[in-house]
Structure 1
Amino acid sequence: MLHYTEMHLNRASSERKSNDWIIAQMRGESHWLLIDDDKNLVDTKTCTLVSLSFDQVKELHLDNAVFLGLDGQKSYFALDISKYADKNTLQIPSSAEFIDMRQIGPQLPPTMASVGVLAKGLCYWHNTHQYCGRCGSKNHSVEAGHARKCLNSDCRHMTFPRTDPAVIMLVTHLFSDGIERCLLGRQAQWSEGVYSTLAGFVDPAETLEQAVIREVKEEANIDVDKVKYLASQPWPFPSSLMLGFIAQATTTDIAVEQDELEHAQWFSRADLDSFLEWGIDAPGFKLTRKDSISRYLIEYWRAS
């Protein structure tokens, strides 16, 4: 199972539109996940997300609280306290720390990690969409944090969270020596030795299959066909949905554009067996993060 895909909360899409219903959920058995400077509050001893009770947060400004969903009778909310002057009055465990989800996510249980990135993703969206995209006026949070509405009485435009679709693909080719290899590349800003599957955002008026073919051509000058969808993964770093494919190359001569990739190379399964894990501070080739769909695609191919 892909990390960040095990969302178990009932999002209660209809009920959350009622302000009275949301207030009742807040005052009931509610659990509050805090975000500060785009980081989640984590208990470093137990490696779990810290959830506070309503009594622990009720003195804060809750107008921007985001309803995440229901787990039975339990309600989950996210609250971004980045701009709160009184946040230091919160009573949180001494072992709690605000940590970037990209750092802690792989260590969290899958369902908890899924809730954590939902909280992070929605709070990020609110922080980056403070103004109406139609008239430029200030807007505010509505529908329990799942929309924003323009305050201009002549506009009142509603904005909803957006997810950017991106294709990510493992490209393979059976070479004349009888060995099948996959195409991996790296960007210059990545950690030393890390190679990943190719990826890119979907253009307007473009199918996913067309995006796969275009991105591989743009990044490595490789032509592909037989594009096959495998799986998807939410990747709110900051706001993407990764759509995973496998494709077969019809050409093999690599030519990278330096503004896209620093380097790309064909690797066999035997080559990948010698790769180190992401995060290891040692020279040599390294696999991508275990929580990424890139790693999922690589492992899918290695096992086939």
Structure 2
Amino acid sequence: MTFILASRLNVYSASPLDRIAQRREDAAWIAEKLADPQTLFVPVWRTRNLVRRAEDGTPEAVYISSEMARTLLMEDGSWAFLGMLEDRAVFAVDISGMDDPVPLLPESLGEFMDLRSVGWGVPRPEASVLAHARGLLHWRQRHKFCGVCGNACEVKSAGHVMQCTVCNTQHFPRTDPAVIMLVHRGDKALLGHSVRFPRATMYSTLAGFVEPGETLEEAVRREVLEETGVQVGDVHYHSSQPWPFPGNIMLGFYGEALTEEITIDPEELKDARWFTRDEMRNCEQHGFALPRVDSIARRLIEDWMAHG
């Protein structure tokens, strides 16, 4: 089996931040950085991030000052320390309680957008910072109460722990591992059209969550077999991608198919087919679309196409 290496970094990777986790418990240092006028804040409004377009049309992340963060009604506990960007602290701040933050922002500052609609196209370090903020605050919003006893939790460790106010159980940020794989055999690769895809013509790699007690390779083989009936032999790793939509880490693999007959699971897929490299390179002519350019699915496909 030919090993295909990642040709470049994935979007939402290559974070420029030094997370310095050891500082999260230093309350005095955190308070000093919150008050520091040089500190940068990453606002998140209802899972949307602040982004603007440069003159050439490329997207840029927008950080705001501590003064502006206070203008946006930053409340105690609505923030989380992300790390250091060179010598400046960076915090995420949740402003979801506001009905509309736009009137409080300068018109030229940007707009709140779903990161998946931005179209980063290529890895940009600031995209990783925005994804980091989105994922952490999404987890915080959904863990306000203890999963053990049901009582309210309070924020600890500069936003990275939710601790129960009654039983003292500590809850940590959750990231769910999911395998995503391009299964191939000769000059053909297996793509499926999920029941959840928004575009009727899009075909993408198969994917699924890792189950308890399962290796990543076992998860690849199980998911492919369950969804398409295709048996997979050798599996090898390609790369990973943070995917905070809402809280996943996508673990990318290639799998060598042992069989070709397809039997789809109709609860997961509307269709699955074998496509040649030529068909993928000319997908529009053949009546289908490939996944979005910021996804690891697209990277798996493009790197496979480049090796044939």
Do Structure 1 and Structure 2 share a fold, with TM-score over 0.5? yes
| CA distance in structure 2 between the aligned counterparts of 1:107 and 1:75, rounded to whole angstroms | 27
* Corresponding position: 1:182 with 2:189: yes
Match of 1:43 among 52, 57, 67: 52
Q: Any idea what SS the aligned residue of 1:209 has? A: helix
Show the counterpart of 1:195.
203
| CA distance in structure 1 between the aligned counterparts of 2:122 and 2:96, rounded to whole angstroms | 23
**How big is the alpha-carbon RMSD for the aligned residues of Structure 1 and Structure 2?**
1.9
Q: Per-residue deviation at 1:237?
A: 0.7
* Corresponding position: 1:297 with 2:284: no
Match of 2:145 among 125, 131, 134: 131
Q: Any idea what SS the aligned residue of 1:34 has? A: strand
Match of 2:86 among 72, 78, 91: 72
CA contact (8 A) 2:279 2:286 kept: no
Higher-RCO chain (CA-CA 8 Å, sequence separation at least 6): 2
| CA distance in structure 2 between the aligned counterparts of 1:219 and 1:55, rounded to whole angstroms | 51
Aligned residues: 292
Q: What amino acid is aligned across from residue 249 of structure 1 in structure 2?
A: A
Match of 1:143 among 157, 164, 169: 157
Show the counterpart of 2:118.
104
Q: What amino acid is aligned across from residue 295 of structure 2 in structure 1?
A: S
CA contact (8 A) 1:166 1:241 kept: yes
Q: Per-residue deviation at 1:42?
A: 1.6
Show the counterpart of 1:30.
39
Q: What amino acid is aligned across from residue 301 of structure 1 in structure 2?
A: W
Q: What amino acid is aligned across from residue 57 of structure 1 in structure 2?
A: A
1:142-168 deviation line (CA, Å, top 9, x unaligned): 11111111111xx11110001000111
TM-score by length of 2: 0.90
1:121-176 deviation line (CA, Å, top 9, x unaligned): 01100111110011100102111111111111xx11110001000111111112xx
TM-score by length of 1: 0.91
Q: Unpaired segments of 5 or more residues in structure 1?
A: 175-179, 277-281
Q: What amino acid is aligned across from residue 296 of structure 2 in structure 1?
A: I
Show the counterpart of 2:185.
173
Q: Any idea what SS the aligned residue of 1:57 has? A: helix
Match of 2:95 among 57, 65, 81: 81
1:84-105 deviation line (CA, Å, top 9, x unaligned): 4795773434452111111115
Match of 1:223 among 227, 231, 245: 231
Match of 1:156 among 148, 168, 179: 168
Q: Unpaired segments of 5 or more residues in structure 2?
A: 1-8
Q: What amino acid is aligned across from residue 41 of structure 2 in structure 1?
A: W
| CA distance in structure 1 between the aligned counterparts of 2:121 and 2:236, rounded to whole angstroms | 30
Q: Any idea what SS the aligned residue of 1:248 has? A: strand
| CA distance in structure 1 between the aligned counterparts of 2:254 and 2:277, rounded to whole angstroms | 15
Paired-residue identity, %: 40
| CA distance in structure 2 between the aligned counterparts of 1:161 and 1:184, rounded to whole angstroms | 32
1:34-59 deviation line (CA, Å, top 9, x unaligned): 11111011224563222111122235
Q: Any idea what SS the aligned residue of 2:139 has? A: helix
Q: What amino acid is aligned across from residue 30 of structure 1 in structure 2?
A: T
1:214-242 deviation line (CA, Å, top 9, x unaligned): 00000000001011111111111111111
1:260-279 paired onto structure 2 within 5 Å: 260-276=268-284
1:270-293 deviation line (CA, Å, top 9, x unaligned): 1111114xxxxx992111111111
CA contact (8 A) 1:62 1:79 kept: no
| CA distance in structure 2 between the aligned counterparts of 1:3 and 1:14, rounded to whole angstroms | 27
| CA distance in structure 1 between the aligned counterparts of 2:115 and 2:294, rounded to whole angstroms | 11
| CA distance in structure 2 between the aligned counterparts of 1:256 and 1:194, rounded to whole angstroms | 16
Describe the shift of the 1:91–1:270 C-alpha distance in structure 2 as closer, same or farther (beyond 3 A): closer
Show the counterpart of 2:13.
5
CA contact (8 A) 1:35 1:78 kept: yes
